[in-house]
Structure 1
Amino acid sequence: MPRKPKTPDFEQALQQLEGLVEQLEQGDLPIEDALKAFEEGIRLTRDCQGILQQAEQKVQLLTEQDGDIVASDFGATEEPTP
């Protein structure tokens, strides 16, 4: 069975994105390289957003009670009522 290509993990993608931002902020890249770095940054940003959306969906599935999703803040100290 063929495997689908592995997407980079969030921490790795974020670290790469931070490196690109640092390079762009220095302002010494030729315009062609700066555009390539910007394009890569956009791709990494979308990857990170996708990873976060998947994590949010997993959290919603895990917090489902009796067929209903119980929404609660991550920082909430109260237990959701059944």
Structure 2
Amino acid sequence: MSDKSPENPDFEHALSELETLVQKLESGELTLDQSLTEFRKGVELTRRCQAVLDKAQLTVEQLLDIDDESSASDFKPGD
């Protein structure tokens, strides 16, 4: 993610925030309303992180395809 505004944090920040939310939820010290609010934030952060991971995976796959194609075209029988 190139936009690192508070509404759209980078992957590492979003993951860190998600870990903090999980700790809060697991503590059992939140009210039901607070838990639901934190859970909602967690779901949004999870989706954001998953989107970043999906994009990264696609980039890696595309790069590997490019490498495979160039390797195949560079090979000449008899060399």
What band does the TM-score fall into relative to the shorter chain? 0.7 to 0.9
Unaligned runs of 5+ in 1: 68-80
Supply the distance in 2 between the matched residues of 1:63 and 1:52 (Cα, whole angstroms). 16
User: Which one has the largest radius of gyration?
Assistant: 2
The letter of the residue matching 1:48 is C
What is the CA–CA distance in structure 1 between the aligned matches of 2:9 and 2:51, rounded to whole Å?
11
2:56: which partner in 1? 55
Give the strand-richer structure, 1 or 2: 1
Task: Structure 2 unaligned segments of length 5 or more: list them.
Answer: 73-79
- Number of equivalenced pairs: 65
Matched, 1:66 2:66: no
1:1-59 alpha-carbon deviations (Å, 9 max, x no partner): xxxx8232111110000000000000010111110000000000000100000000110
Q: 1:26 corresponds to which residue?
A: 27
More helix by share: 2
Question: SS at 1:66's partner residue?
Answer: helix
- Measured on the aligned residues, the alpha-carbon RMSD in Å equals 1.9
After TM superposition, the runs of 4+ consecutive aligned structure 1 residues lying more than 4 A away are none
Cα separation, 2, equivalents of 1:63 and 1:42: 31
User: When the two structures are superposed, what TM-score results if normalisation uses the length of structure 1?
Assistant: 0.71
Q: Using the aligned pairs only, state the percent identity.
A: 40
